[in-house]
């Protein structure tokens, strides 16, 4: 059978189901005022929570680095274990570890790869992975790569998790609890205090993917652990990604020395891939300075979240219980979500429709994300546009 014969019908079905995905083409810098697909719009879809993606200080650090450091190649040339582990990678790992108060961190090129690495490396046949039902796709794929058993518990349901931990004690040699810190399509936060207690009670390992918390949550931006006044313990694995609040790209795993050494020795997505460009590590080091000094931005972000939620509830939109920058507007059917997203585009706002399989059936939504560099006026304009669309929609 030809590729065409197999896939043409699938593509057509996807289109008919309002599930077809297209890549919007961006003609401007990554910031609230954008030109996407030729449309001048205000962007409420990116994960640039602190407004660092186009920050002048990061660009300046790159320019100065290139001008003053003769030994700064762009490409890293090889994997970390070969000749690709440059000084900026190494310094960045130390700086991240110091900042988070963990023994060590390890850089990965993307969060997706970090998440492929952790479960595959740490969890073996005879073990069990217990995952929140709404975990990010990369965590699910990571579990698939592991030989451990895999069970999901209902979203945030700590009683169900405890039952599964009890069952695991009899049947499995080691359990790992796996969760998003901030859930990427919902914006709610995992109850880490209870999870850490459960992990300790049942000697399970706790793996938290804090892609949307790191940089944005906690007084010092250390993410969901700091948000709850907690500290990762020796059996915690923390993943942070650098393409969201850090405005750059890449990810890290943070934890004990033994954890990090084990990943260096055994994690295939670490070993068999070229190190990220060291210039990116330089940019992330600058972003870390901005995140550390980002109290004011985090406060502005919180004000923007509050402003949006109050306005949206006032006009009767169905929000999710989220206190984070991710604010889904629940619409149900995929075609409704697409219609709203298109109408917003016409009005000059970029808000992505999120549909199955990214979210469960009949839970299509608009995913509004807020940034510290949105102005209150921009948020008010979005609310006005939503109100106008709502008055002509059947939802």
Ligand X SMILES: *Cc1c(COP(=O)(O)O)cnc(C)c1O
Extract the annotated binding site for substrate: 21, 136, 358
Counting contacts by CB under 6 A, is residue 240 touching ligand X?
no
Q: Identify which of residues 204 and 208 has a Cβ nearer to ligand X in the complex.
A: 208
The nearest distance, CB 242 to ligand X, in angstroms, is 7
The nearest distance, CB 111 to ligand X, in angstroms, is 2
Counting contacts by CB under 6 A, is residue 105 touching ligand X?
no
Counting contacts by CB under 6 A, is residue 112 touching ligand X?
yes
Closest CB to ligand X: residue number? 111
Counting contacts by CB under 6 A, is residue 115 touching ligand X?
yes
Q: Identify which of residues 212 and 365 has a Cβ nearer to ligand X in the complex.
A: 212
Which residues are known to be catalytic?
Answer: 184, 212, 244
- 168-187 binders of ligand X (CB under 6 A): 180, 184
Q: Which stretch binds ligand X (CB under 6 A): 60-68, 79-87, 88-96, 110-118?
A: 110-118
Count other Cβ atoms within 10 Å, centred on residue 94. 11
| One character per residue 117-156, x = contact with ligand X (rule: CB under 6 A) | -------------------x-x------------------
Counting contacts by CB under 6 A, is residue 241 touching ligand X?
yes
Q: Which of 55, 80, 212, 365 binds ligand X (CB under 6 A)?
A: 212
Counting contacts by CB under 6 A, is residue 107 touching ligand X?
no
Q: Which of 211, 224, 317, 338 binds ligand X (CB under 6 A)?
A: 211
Counting contacts by CB under 6 A, is residue 80 touching ligand X?
no
Distance CA 341, CA 249 (A): 27
Structure-token pair, residue 37: 């697909």
Counting contacts by CB under 6 A, is residue 110 touching ligand X?
yes
Q: Which stretch binds ligand X (CB under 6 A): 27-35, 48-56, 109-117, 351-359?
A: 109-117
Q: Kind of pairing, strands 33-36 and 39-43?
A: antiparallel
Annotated binding site: 21, 111-112, 136, 184, 212, 241, 358
Counting contacts by CB under 6 A, is residue 111 touching ligand X?
yes
The nearest distance, CB 390 to ligand X, in angstroms, is 28
Answer whether 305's CB lies under 8 Å from 325's CB. yes
The footprint of ligand X (CB under 6 A) covers 110-112, 115, 136, 138, 180, 184, 209, 211-212, 241, 243, 251
């Amino acid at each position: 059978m030809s590729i065409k014969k197999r896939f043409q019908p699938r593509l057509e079905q996807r289109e008919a189901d309002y599930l077809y995905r297209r890549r919007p083409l961006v003609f401007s810098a990554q910031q609230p005022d954008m030109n996407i697909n030729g449309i001048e719009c205000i962007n409420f879809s990116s994960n640039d929570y602190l407004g660092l993606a186009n920050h002048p200080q990061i660009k300046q650090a790159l320019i100065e680095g290139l001008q003053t450091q003769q030994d700064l190649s762009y490409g890293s040339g090889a994997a970390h274990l070969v000749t690709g582990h440059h000084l900026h990678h190494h310094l960045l790992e130390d700086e991240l570890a110091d900042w988070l108060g963990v023994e060590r961190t390890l850089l990965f090129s993307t969060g997706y790869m970090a998440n492929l690495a952790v479960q595959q490396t740490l969890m073996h046949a005879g073990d069990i992975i217990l995952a929140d039902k709404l975990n990010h796709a990369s965590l699910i794929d990571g579990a698939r790569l592991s030989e451990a058993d895999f069970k999901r518990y209902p979203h945030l349901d700590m009683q169900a998790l405890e039952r599964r931990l009890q069952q695991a004690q009899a049947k499995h040699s080691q359990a790992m609890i796996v969760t998003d810190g901030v859930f990427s399509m919902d914006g709610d936060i995992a109850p880490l205090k209870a999870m850490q207690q459960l992990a300790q009670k049942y000697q399970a390992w706790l793996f938290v993917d804090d892609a949307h918390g790191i940089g944005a949550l906690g007084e010092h931006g250390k993410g969901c652990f700091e948000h709850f006044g907690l500290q990762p313990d020796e059996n915690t694995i923390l993943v942070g990604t650098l393409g969201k609040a850090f405005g750059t790209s890449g990810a890290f795993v943070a934890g004990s020395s033994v954890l990090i050494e084990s990943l260096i020795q055994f994690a295939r997505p670490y070993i068999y891939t070229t190190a990220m460009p060291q210039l990116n590590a330089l940019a992330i080091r600058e972003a870390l300075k901005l995140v550390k000094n980002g109290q004011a931005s985090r406060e502005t972000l919180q004000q923007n979240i509050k402003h949006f939620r109050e306005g949206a509830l006032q006009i009767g939109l169905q929000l999710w219980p989220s206190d984070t920058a991710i604010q889904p507007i629940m619409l149900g059917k995929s075609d409704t979500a697409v219609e709203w997203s298109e109408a917003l585009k016409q009005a000059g706002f970029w808000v992505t429709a999120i549909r199955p399989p990214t979210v469960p059936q009949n839970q299509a939504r608009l995913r509004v994300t807020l940034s510290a560099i949105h102005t209150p006026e921009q948020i008010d304009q979005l609310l006005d546009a939503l109100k106008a669309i709502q008055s002509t929609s059947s939802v």
